[in-house]
Structure 1
Amino acid sequence: MLAGKLSFLLGICSLAVGTILQNGQVRITNYPDTKINISSYDFRTYDADATELSYKGRWDSKKISWWSAPGLVFGFTGQTVAITFGEHTINSTLIGYRIAGLDWTFTNVTAGATHLLVSPETPGVNETQPINPLTFELRVTNWEYGVQIDKVHVGAGESLVKIPAYNRTIEFIGDSLSAGMYTSYEGLSSFAYGVGAGLGDTEYSVIAFPGICVSDQNCWGHARGQVHQWFYTSDMSSRALSIYGDEPEQWDFSKQETTPNIVVINLGTNDNNAHNNVTTATYVDAYTKLIEGVHGKYPKAQVIVMQLWMGFSRTGNSYTQDLGYEQELKDIVAYFNSDEYLSAPKTWDGTTNTTATLDAPSEKFVHYFSTRGILQHNDIGPQFHPTDVGAIKVASHLSQFIKLTFGWDLVATGPEIFHDTTYWNDEMYY
């Protein structure tokens, strides 16, 4: 959900210079300057398509990142990791990176430059327990900005190591609420990332972009909705249009490292905004087709439909949660769990007005997650999106819903999830 184009542009531009506003005050970040002169180092170099590299989320054939919190994971020997970023990297894009289960470090990267991200001075690089070889992980924080991987470097005589994918996979399809707009580290502070990373031993991808509708029409400048764009590698941003024009790459679902066991959909805040002129019938049709498409691509996946939260309104001497499409979403869930659909399920390919018939599923696969009562009015920031605390609350509740509904254990027992949230009071007398 967006208050307007101006607030959207301000939101994405703030991270371009590494500034985070915390309750209206500038948070001191002191991101390290990691750019180096590559000629001063003795590296072993790998191309961006090396088989040892695992790309998380959606990256195109040019190894350009798209959507929210796309990642790169690999193992390495030695004590050095550097990455050269390609020409399609947006200068000053903020990335988070870390080794093994240690805390995130952040840096702004530059097109055409090489950045030294692990060195002998990096905390933990000399420790091989409990993980050997060490794992390196990179995540792009912002959806509008992005990076292109050109080369990956390790120390001379060292090597990259392929890290096997986890057996559990979850995918989120959403808009700005899932993308993490206006949280401190955007994609790395979103509730979607919090669930995916917080579950532990789980692959996750967040196919979300601010302003997008599920309905296939222009919303806040995005020409297509998720009912269409989810089938493509990139979004419909100006960055994507400048690279691919009107012919973006279709996403090759067959080449995904893992197939999602769970797909979480949170869409409708932009459709519900009067600015975009989406009719209720259009919304219901698009949402239904999107689930049909998801079921066609991931026939064994469980789908979670999230109840929308639209902020809060002052009511008398308190506040009430604003809801959108509440009955419509419940009706959609009921339809997919009805004999009508289960006996003759259909799929949608995102591009035509026709649907194909699938084999009937053996059980109900669409679930409704109520957000009522999770957030209070002060969990919504001035720009109508969850605060960091609000995102953490949603992530915590949704993680428990997944545990109770599907029996997924919560196995993350130490690695940092949300960065810069270690607030505490150490004054005894106040």
Structure 2
Amino acid sequence: MWISKSWAVSLCCLSSFVSATILQNGQVRVTDYPNTVTEASSHNWRTYPANAAELSYKGRWDDDHISWWSVPGLKFGFTGKEVAITFGPHTSNGVLVAYRINGEDWQFSNITTNATHLLISPSTEGVDLTSPISPSTFELRVTNWAYGVQVKSVHVAAGASLIKLKDYNRRIEVIGDSLSSGMYGTYEGLSSYAYGLAAGLGDTEYSVTAYPGICVTDQECWGNPRGQTYQWYRTSDTGGRATNIYGTNPPLWDFSKHPAADIVVINLGTNDNNTANNVTNEDYYNSYIELVEGVHNVWPKAQIIISALWNGFGKSGNTYIQGPAFVTEIWDVYKHFNSASYLSSQHTCPPRNPLKWWLPPCKPGRPNAPFVHYFNTTGILQHNDIGPLWHPTDVGYIKVASHLMQYINLKFGWELRATGPEVFHDTLYWNDQDSY
């Protein structure tokens, strides 16, 4: 990003120089995305129902194929040169989705409730690079954390077919709040560090169960009626959309029907730390312990990374300093799960708490090796990586994602498998004019 000016103008005269055209790769960022709505009856398509075996739903979707949480997705292979999707009544009208074929850049469209959208056609860039009888890959992601789509059916050209794609062999789950869901990023979920981490690693399945304002402690926080020690076990998030559909009894997420995560990243506590929510340090610590125990019980082989919080920056004299938040408590959670007494103890299941009936059955036994790891965020972000609304800028999210990628690479030996297709969209800023 740059501001057009003449270097011949002296510094003393800059105040009278009013030309300030901001160029971003020589163009204005596009926000009026193409209208992809089409009349289904005017096409001769082969149609698949939303529960077709060839469709792979990414993230959390309910039994009615309604998407929840951050960056939920849909992925499948297809032959031919057309893909259309009919969206149902529980689609948020106007929600922005990103979609692409193979390794092409993300395309975007605002989705209309109860409408069919033609997303891939013979004029789509790159579609001619694949033989009509060879499968292409189609992927769709919902960008916003508060809105979602409902898939009713998927269409391909007459004589074409959908193809089930094989899942990648490694999985990441991110559990968080607004910092993980990408709040105030350009494309929200698709600009978040959580998405950037998983997509940046490449060849990795991922789910982001994060929602703005939520606490780890199970109480009301910023309009969220429950905390992650309760909501993580649910299919839906805590938003008003979920309340309108489910009321106060959202469905449980059936972990047994989905592959286990290999790595779980937890970034929670910014909302607990706000005095408006009246969470004590002790309640936060105990809730964090409870959540980690619950995740380990569901996925006993998963490695769990707990993240230190970045809590914004404040002016101090003639510089800036990063604000602390639950520094001792998060470190104490790490120490608890890495203590010799914890790792060597013979764990027996406590009596089942009838007030927490949603928790999966406890599994006795302890690992004899640490499974909780501490990711220190200190020094990654600077004050200008935080936007005016207290959340990272696009660049800030990218920095956190990049550091986490390297942490996982060094800690667990995960290769960086991304091969070239873009991860973050609209972040390639450069000056391509030589006379300004």
Same topology, TM > 0.5: yes
Taking a change above 3 Å as real, the CA distance of residues 347 and 324 of structure 1, as seen in their structure-2 partners, is: farther
Distance 2:229 2:197 in 1: 23
Q: Is the 8 A contact 2:211 2:238 kept in 1?
A: no
- Alignment-derived partner of residue 153 in structure 2: 151
Q: Describe how 1:360-371 pairs up with structure 2 within 5 A.
A: 360-371=366-377
Report percent identity of matched pairs: 61
1:239 aligned to which of 238, 241, 252: 241
After TM superposition, give the deviation of residue 327 of structure 1 in Å: 1.1
> Computing the radius of gyration over CA atoms, which structure comes out larger, 1 or 2?
2
Task: Quickly say closer, same or farther: Cα 1:120–1:308, change in 2 above 3 A.
Answer: same
Shift of the 262–140 alpha-carbon distance from structure 1 to 2, 3 Å rule, reads same
1:137-193 deviation per Cα after TM superposition (whole angstroms, max 9, x unaligned): 000001111100000000111110000100010000000000000000000000000
Aligned length in residues:
405
Give the whole-Å Cα distance in 2 for the aligned partners of 1:424 and 1:357: 54
Q: Distance in 1 between matches of 2:136 and 2:369?
A: 41
Distance 2:228 2:427 in 1: 32
**Equivalents in 1 of 2:346, 2:103: separation in Å?**
46
Per the alignment, residue 4 of structure 1 pairs with: none
Specify the alignment match of 2:314 in structure 1. Answer: 313
Match of 2:378 in 1: 372
Once the two structures are superposed, what CA deviation does each residue of 1:252-306 show, in whole Å capped at 9, x if it has no partner? 00111x3110000000000000011111111111110000000001000000000
Spell out the pairing of 1:124-143 with structure 2 (5 A cutoff): 124-128=126-130, 132-143=134-145
Match of 1:119 in 2: 121
For the pair 1:388 / 2:390, whether they are aligned, the reply is no
Within 5 Å, which residues of 2 pair with 1:290-301? Answer: 290-301=291-302
Aligned to 1:352: 356
| 1:251 to 1:44, Cα distance in 2 relative to 1, 3 A | same
Q: What one-letter code is carried by the residue in structure 2 that aligns with 1:74? A: F
SS in 1 for 2:127: coil
Q: Is the 8 A contact 1:292 1:347 kept in 2?
A: no
In the TM superposition, residue 340 of structure 1 has moved relative to its aligned partner by: 2.7
CA separation of 1:282 and 1:346: change in aligned 2, threshold 3 A: farther
SS of corresponding position for 1:126: helix
Q: Partners of 1:72 and 1:188 in 2: how far apart?
A: 14
Q: Deviations over 1:210-229 (max 9, x none)?
A: 00000000000111000110
The structural deviation recorded for 1:346 is 6.9
The reply to whether residue 171 of structure 1 matches residue 176 of structure 2 is no
Contact 1:65-1:147 within 8 A present in 2 as well: yes
Q: Unaligned regions of 5+ residues in structure 1, if any?
A: 1-21
| Residue type of the alignment partner of 1:334 | K
Q: Is the deviation greater in 299-308 or in 235-244?
A: 235-244
Q: 1:423 aligns with which of 424, 429, 435?
A: 429
CA contact (8 A) 1:344 1:360 kept: yes
Determine helix, strand or coil for the equivalent of 1:232. coil
Secondary structure of the residue aligned to 2:279 is coil
Contact 1:268 1:308 in 2 (8 A): yes
- Give, as a single letter, the amino acid of the residue that structure 1 aligns with 2:337: F
Q: How many angstroms apart in 1 are the aligned matches of 2:156 and 2:30?
A: 31
- Measured in 2, the distance between the counterparts of 1:216 and 1:71 equals 28
Alignment check: 8 A CA contact 1:344 1:357 kept: no
Q: Distance in 1 between matches of 2:349 and 2:112?
A: 42
Q: How many angstroms does 1:344 deviate by?
A: 3.4
Q: Distance in 2 between matches of 1:248 and 1:155?
A: 37
Aligned position for 2:420: 414
Counterpart CA distance in 1 for 2:279 and 2:42 is: 57
Distance apart, 1:46 and its partner CA: 0.5
Give the letter for the 2:383 counterpart: H
Q: Deviations over 1:4-31 (max 9, x none)?
A: xxxxxxxxxxxxxxxxxx9xxx943230
SS in 1 for 2:251: coil
Inter-partner Cα distance in structure 1 for 2:104 and 2:83 = 16
Q: d(CA) in 1 for partners of 2:164 and 2:342?
A: 41
Aligned partners of 1:83 and 1:151 also within 8 Å: yes
Structure-1 separation of matches of 2:185 and 2:306: 23
Q: CA deviation at 1:362?
A: 3.2
Contact 1:69/1:141 (<8 A) preserved: yes
How big is the shift at 1:341?
2.2
Partner residue in 2 for 1:212: 214
Q: Which residue of 2 aligns with 1:77?
A: 79
> What CA distance in whole angstroms lies between the structure 1 residues aligned with 2:213 and 2:136?
38
Tell me what 1:273 maps to.
274
User: Where in structure 1 do 4 or more consecutive aligned residues deviate above 4 Å?
Assistant: 345-351
AA aligned to 1:314 is K
Q: Which residue identity is paired with 1:201?
A: D
Match of 1:327 in 2: 328
Q: Using a 3 Å threshold, how does the CA distance of structure 1 residues 428 and 346 change in structure 2: closer, same or farther?
A: farther
Counterpart of 1:393 in structure 2: which amino acid?
K
Deviation at 1:122, TM superposition (A): 0.6
Aligned AA (1:352): K
Task: Please give the alpha-carbon distance, in whole angstroms, between the structure 1 residues aligned to 2:363 and 2:78.
Answer: 46
Q: Give the conservation status (yes or no) of the 8 Å contact 1:292–1:346.
A: no
Q: Which secondary structure does the structure 2 equivalent of 1:39 belong to?
A: helix
Residue 55 (structure 1) aligns with: 57
Q: CA deviation at 1:352?
A: 2.1
The 8 Å contact of residues 71 and 189 in structure 2, kept in 1 or not, is answered as: yes
Coordinate RMSD, CA, aligned = 2.0
Question: 2: CA distance between counterparts of 1:429 and 1:408?
Answer: 45
Q: How many Å apart are 1:246 and its aligned residue?
A: 1.4
Moved more, 99-108 or 120-129: 120-129
**Alignment-derived partner of residue 339 in structure 1:** 340
Superposed counterparts of 1:250-289, under 5 Å: 250-256=252-258, 258-289=259-290
Cα gap change, 1:345 to 1:263, in 2 (>3 Å)? farther
Whole-Å separation in 2 of the counterparts to 1:341 and 1:34: 56
Q: Does 1:229 align with 2:231?
A: yes
